Copies of this chain bind each other. A is one copy, B any other.
Amino acid sequence: MNADERWFQGHLRELDEAECWELLRSCEVGRVAYVDARGPMVVPVTFVAEDASLLFRVSAYSELARHLPGAEAALEVDDIDYFTRSGWSVVLRGPIEVVPSDELPPVDARPTPWPEGQRSLYLRLTAALVTGRRLLEA
């Protein structure tokens, strides 16, 4: 991927995959991008980073449940500092599959939705491509 395509270009450092995973593991909220009838859409989700995948939960009757299983998706996490105009962004891309309840990790290794309500459908995004970049202070 061309470094030039991101919002950070100058004092830019490409993150290696280990750094990307470390940052993914430091975050609880990301933004999942998917495609519906209108085109690309992106919404926040809480997630848990696994060895080579991300696990998150959605309502079984949601738009995410309708469009994500079996499809390609991207999940982005970032930390952006307006004051110093610096930050980092990590994107994990790959296919989404439904995780059957008997294949779920222990309860304390599952993501915790912040809102109230049922989020009974567990989805896993398996990493096909992990990229990240850090914009250093100018």
A interface residue numbers (CB < 8 A to B): 1-2, 4-12, 28-29, 31, 33-35, 38-46, 58-59, 61-65, 71-74, 76, 78, 80, 82, 85-87, 89, 91, 93, 113-117, 119, 128-129, 135, 138
Query: How many copies of this chain does one complex carry?
Result: 2
Closest B residue, CB atoms, query A88: B44
Q: Could you tell me if B38 and A35 are in contact, using CB atoms closer than 8 angstroms?
A: no
Partner of A7 from the list B40, B46, B138 (CB cut-off 8 Å) is B46
Write out the residue numbers on chain B whose beta carbons fall within 8 Å of the beta carbon of A43. Answer: 5-7, 76, 89, 91
Q: Could you tell me if B7 and A45 are in contact, using CB atoms closer than 8 angstroms?
A: yes
Q: Could you tell me if A7 and B29 are in contact, using CB atoms closer than 8 angstroms?
A: yes
Write out the residue numbers on chain B whose beta carbons fall within 8 Å of the beta carbon of A61. Answer: 2, 4
Using known A-B contacts A4-B61, A28-B82, determine if residue A72 contacts B38 with beta carbons closer than 8 Å. yes
Using known A-B contacts A12-B115, A28-B82, A42-B42, determine if residue A62 contacts B5 with beta carbons closer than 8 Å. yes
6 CB contacts below 8 A, A to B, read A4-B62, A7-B114, A11-B115, A42-B42, A43-B89, A44-B80
Q: Could you tell me if A2 and B39 are in contact, using CB atoms closer than 8 angstroms?
A: no
